[in-house]
Structure 1
Amino acid sequence: MSCNHCVMAVTRALHGIEGIRDVSVDLKTGEATFEETIPVDPEIIRKRISEAGYEVVG
Structure 2
Amino acid sequence: MSAVQLTVLGMTCDGCASRLKRVLEARGGIHHADVMRDLKQVAIHYDSDSTDRAAIEAAIGDAGFEVAHG
So what's the TM-score if we normalise by structure 2? 0.72
Deviation string 1:17-36 (CA, Å, 9 cap, x unpaired) is 21111211001101101211
Measured on the aligned residues, the alpha-carbon RMSD in Å equals 1.1
1:55 alignment partner in structure 2: 66
The DSSP-based 3-state class of the residue aligned with 2:59 is helix
Find the aligned partners of 2:67 and 2:21 in 1 and give their Cα distance: 13
Find the aligned partners of 2:44 and 2:64 in 1 and give their Cα distance: 19
Which aligned segments of 4 or more residues in structure 1 are displaced greater than 6 angstroms?
none
Q: Which has the higher strand share?
A: 2
Give the paired residue count.
Answer: 57
What are the equivalent positions in structure 2 for 1:13-24 lying under 5 Å apart? Answer: 13-24=23-34
So what's the TM-score if we normalise by structure 1? 0.84
% identical aligned pairs: 26
* Partner of residue 22 from structure 2, selected from 3, 6, 12: 12
